[in-house]
Amino acid sequence: MIKVKSEETGHLGIFPQNSTIPRYRPKPPFVLASRPSLEQIRTPITDLFKIKHPILLAGMNVAAGPKLAAAVTNAGGMGVIGGVGYTPEMLKEQIAELKSYLNDKNAPFGVDLLIPQVGGNARKTNYDYTKGKLGELTDIIIESGAKLFVSAVGVPPKAIVDKLHKHGILYMNMIGHVKHVQKCIDVGVDIICAQGGEGGGHTGDIPTTVLIPAVVEICNKHKSPLTGGPVQVIAAGGIHNGQLLAASLMMGAGAVWVGTRFILTDEAGAPKSHKEAVRTAGHDDNIRTIIFTGRPMRVRNNSYINDWETNRQQEMKELAAKGVIPYEADLDKVLNGGEKPKIEGIQTSANDDDDDDPLEQFRPFLMGKAAAVVNEQKPAKAVVDEFITDAVAWLKKGNSMLVGPSSKL
């Protein structure tokens, strides 16, 4: 049952303003709260981070960036910066830039790092993106005042999680398969971000509507070491509007993790070509491929990717088995004097000596299935506001379908 507070009552917080991470107190999974300007949806996630809206920006490296992260936080959600290969200096600069755009310098934000398992039974193409600097990066995150640490494509060492918890920082892990949840719980996860196969970037192949309820069922049985309440779930994968925010809440998630929709915003750091690729994408225009990182990643298809997937599959498998990333194999050939791949319909320059990356025109544009229905660029705040307005309408519509005494608000 959805409870709606009156405009006179408004949305009342239950934790002191100067409190640290709140201990868990059982409450309804979400509550609609009226404001003069925009109704709010209150969930355990909005309470944990003291944010107005259950919307988090996906940490999408350059495609998102500090300006967009700050814009999402300023709009009442929570911005997250993230990327591959951050050095400590780069991370400090990114956080400083993000803070410079914040209206409230104490507003919450998160940091997302890729921490794949290396060695053992892991993919042979995996390597340490932090280059041995995870401890130093963690210290920077702690010192910065970040409220959330996100681990993607792997699980961090328990010592790192314990250190984050000691400083009141929540730890969330991205997963794309139900079997990965327990590994995260074993090291002390507070929040699971379950991303369905519709999502962009590194992703699995389980549909969002199948993955989220299954993960929620598991997480409800486990406690967060930091909050004392159930491990929370944030939904991701194809979520691009308020209707899907409402659906995610109905499946048991406490918030959504949004990537592709925010690429097509004014503040996004994505180059114009990336934004245009999202705007013009159709339903059949993206693909999961391992050629760029050695692990499945959803991107917009192009002639170069299609050539690998149709004509060079055996070569791709052989390279990956040896721990060689296919794209990097092509890049090495070109840098060592070889010819660029000859791809039908692609014109290549005769002289690329001055290029930092001579295969630049073949690089991927990361995006999820939602790109097919994301066609208009807007400010980040407009996107957040539309999410909430539409989600509230759908939640109320759903409540109106109930029959009997319990349907009365």
Q: Are 378 and 71 in contact (CB under 8 A)?
A: no
Domain presence at residue 214: yes
137 and 88, same structural domain? Answer: yes
78 and 202 co-located in one domain: yes
Among the listed residues 179, 129, 123, 178, the one whose alpha carbon sits nearest the alpha carbon of residue 151: 129
Same domain, 150 and 289: no
Residue 334 has a pLDDT of 83
Domain carrying residue 204:
29-270+370-400
Q: What is the pLDDT of residue 86?
A: 86
In three-state secondary structure terms, 245 is helix
- Provide the number of structural domains found in the chain: 2
Block means of pLDDT (10 residues each) for the chain, 409 residues, are 36 36 52 65 97 97 94 98 88 97 97 87 81 93 97 95 98 98 98 98 96 98 98 98 98 98 97 96 96 95 94 96 94 79 55 56 91 98 98 95 71
In 3-state terms, what secondary structure has residue 171? strand
Could you tell me if 94 and 62 are in contact, meaning their C-beta atoms sit under 8 angstroms apart?
A: no
- Is the domain of 327 the same as that of 376? no
User: What three-state secondary structure class fits 321?
Assistant: helix
Burial of 334 (0-12, 13-18, 19+ CB in 10 A): middle
At residue 337, the pLDDT reads 74
Dihedral sign computed on CA atoms, order 310, 273, 359, 84 = negative
Query: Is 153 among the domain residues?
Result: yes
Residue 359: its pLDDT value, please? 66
Same domain for 143 and 101, yes or no, is: yes
pLDDT reported for residue 16: 34
Query: Are 95 and 33 within one domain?
Result: yes
Crossing angle (nearest 10°) for helices 88-101 and 65-74: 40
Question: Is 243 in the same domain as 145?
Answer: yes
Q: Domain of 232: which CATH number?
A: 3.20.20.70
Same domain, 114 and 206: yes
293 and 186 in one domain? no
